[in-house]
Amino acid sequence: MEITRLQPAGLVQSPAFSHVAVVPAGATTIYVGGQNGVDDTGTVVSDDVAEQSVRAVDNVSTALEAAGATLADVVQWTVFIAEGADLAAAYGAIGPRLAGPGAPPLVTAAVVSALGVPGALLEVSAIAAVLRD
């Protein structure tokens, strides 16, 4: 039993993302709500998008660990980046951590006019799946 990530013929082929994920029955699905680059008090860690991005992914990692999962178990990422923030810097700081082993996860990204946390430049959420014995 395994989680299968597909890059079907006829769709763009990318090393950064897959298009389809098939999670078998019996797997535990874990949903992580939007995480910003904030510390444990809710304070934005920096005005630098790369630093915020790293902290946001760290926060997702912390949430996943609480549910018995890791970043390698992420099936799908959703990334919102504030208009005007440097997407290349953000992705450069976290891209390798989003990928995990094997075929890459699904990724949805959008540039938005603002985020709910004042000063936040990026927000990420994740869906993970863990195969249990």
Q: What pLDDT was estimated at residue 1?
A: 78
Q: Are 49 and 121 contacting, i.e. CB atoms less than 8 angstroms apart?
A: yes
88's CB contacts (< 8 A; 6+ apart) are: none
Q: What's the rounded mean pLDDT across residues 125-132?
A: 93
Note the pTM of the prediction, 2 decimals: 0.91
Residue 128, CA distances (Å) to 22, 106, 119 in order: 12, 11, 27
Cα 114 to Cα 26: distance, rounded to the nearest angstrom: 38
- The confidence score (pLDDT) of residue 2 equals 86
What is the predicted pLDDT for the residue at 95?
87
Sign of the dihedral defined by the CA atoms of residues 48, 50, 52, 54, in that order: negative
Is 101 a residue whose pLDDT tops 80? no
pLDDT (tens digit, 9 = 90+) per residue, 26-80?
A: 999 999 999 999 999 999 999 999 999 999 999 999 999 999 999 999 999 999 9
User: What's the mean pLDDT when you consider all of the chain?
Assistant: 93
pLDDT score, position 103: 86
